[in-house]
């Protein structure tokens, strides 16, 4: 089938494109390349350099007539959403509405949406957190992600467009940028391989659910292949890992003992976050396959390759 993937030149989106292409689907990527990269683009996919907020997006839909939209384009920096909530809402909410309207006009039947487990649920008393837990987003980013989920539900009721919201845990793996606020595994990996100290916020006992990017891509394909998939679905591992433990695993995998320095705790940071994944197993027949130790090994190997390329003489 014809699939349009927004953010398909980015970290997660490019892996999703790879999975869709490997499964025999025709893929059109919409990406403004603000954080994505042409080097991530699968050669069998088409790339349209367009912002999801652009009025020109409609021309892509008019020309390509996708049957399914997989929506990963987003402003994903939580801190930036706090500093500039208007910018966050412009991209994440208004950009998504523009995308949904284009889909409605040109016959899209299904939408698979990249949502956020931790940001949507906020701090909870139930661990692992299931999909039916009341959402308490603590950042504009979380609010924007939840808002688009509501738009998806509205469009399903008004126009019959079936939608599934994949609520991701902390996704990590190859192609993730080590720059910026998001991506602690990428940031730590980059610093460790450069022999630089790792900075841990607070005591480092805060926990996250780390899920490997290829498992996330598999979840998207499972949602694509199941026409009955709908509503929110957690995509994680169901396993908590503290930041201190994460650092130790990375140091062991890299065979190094770089220093871990503790800085001040980040205001408003979640103390614990881990997702219940029983619904994904039941609805999609999906479960993660890559254990954290193996995923970290693959991630470090990827960054080693990039480091070798950077240091190779011209």
- Please identify every residue annotated as catalytic: 141
What's the token pair of residue 297? 């090994």
End-to-end CA separation in angstroms for the chain = 42
- Which of these, 108, 134, 111, 131, lies nearest to 123 by C-alpha position? 134
Q: CA 296 to CA 32: how far, in whole Å?
A: 29
Helix H or strand E segment including 162: strand 162-168
- Three-state SS for 179? coil
Burial class (CB within 10 angstroms; exposed 0-12, middle 13-18, buried 19+) of 33: middle
- β-pairing, 207-208 vs 241-242, is antiparallel
Helix H or strand E segment including 47: strand 46-48
If phi over 0 gives left and psi between -120 and 50 gives alpha, with beta otherwise, what is residue 231? Answer: left
Q: DSSP character for 128?
A: S
Q: CA 244 to CA 9: how far, in whole Å?
A: 31
């Amino acid at each position: 089938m014809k699939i349009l993937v927004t953010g398909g030149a980015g970290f997660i989106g490019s892996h999703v494109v790879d999975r869709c292409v490997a499964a025999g689907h025709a893929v059109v990527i919409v990406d403004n390349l603000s954080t994505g990269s042409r080097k991530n683009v699968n050669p069998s996919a088409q790339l349209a350099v367009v912002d999801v907020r652009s009025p020109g997006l409609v021309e892509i839909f008019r020309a390509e007539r996708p049957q399914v939209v997989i929506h990963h384009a987003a402003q994903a920096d939580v801190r930036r959403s706090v500093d500039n909530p208007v910018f966050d809402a412009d991209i994440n909410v208004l950009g998504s509405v523009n995308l949904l309207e284009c889909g409605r006009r040109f016959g899209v039947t299904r939408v698979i949406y990249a949502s956020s487990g931790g940001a949507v649920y906020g701090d909870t008393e139930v661990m692992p957190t299931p999909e039916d837990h009341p959402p308490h987003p603590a950042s504009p980013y979380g609010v924007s992600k939840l808002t688009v989920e509501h738009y998806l539900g509205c469009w399903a009721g008004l126009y019959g467009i079936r939608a599934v919201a994949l609520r991701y845990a902390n996704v990590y793996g190859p192609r993730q940028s080590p720059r910026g606020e998001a991506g602690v595994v990428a940031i730590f990996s980059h610093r460790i391989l450069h022999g630089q100290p790792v900075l841990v916020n607070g005591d480092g006992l805060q926990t996250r659910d780390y899920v490997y990017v290829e498992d996330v891509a598999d979840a998207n394909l499972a949602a694509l292949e199941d026409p009955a998939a709908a509503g929110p679905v957690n995509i994680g591992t169901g396993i908590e890992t503290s930041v201190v433990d994460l650092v130790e695993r990375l140091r062991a995998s890299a065979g190094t003992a770089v220093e871990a320095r503790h800085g001040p705790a980040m205001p408003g940071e979640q103390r614990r976050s881990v997702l219940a994944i029983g619904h994904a197993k039941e609805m999609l027949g999906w479960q993660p396959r890559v254990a954290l130790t193996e995923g970290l090994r693959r991630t470090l190997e990827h960054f080693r390759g990039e480091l070798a390329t950077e240091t190779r003489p011209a």
